[in-house]
Structure 1
Amino acid sequence: MKNVTVTMEDSVAEWARLEAARRNTSVSRLIGEMLAEKMRHDDAYERAMNEWLQRPALFASNGDPYPTREQVYGERLDGLR
Structure 2
Amino acid sequence: MAARLRAAVHLTHPDTREPLILQPGDTPEPALTALITNPAAWDNGEQPPDEPDAPRPDGQDPPSEPPGQPAAGRSRKTTGTPAT
Structure richer in strand, relative to its length = 2
Greater CA radius of gyration, 1 or 2? Answer: 1
Identify which of structures 1 and 2 has the higher relative contact order when contacts are C-alpha pairs closer than 8 Å and 6+ apart: 2
TM-score exceeds 0.5: no
TM-score range, shorter chain: under 0.3
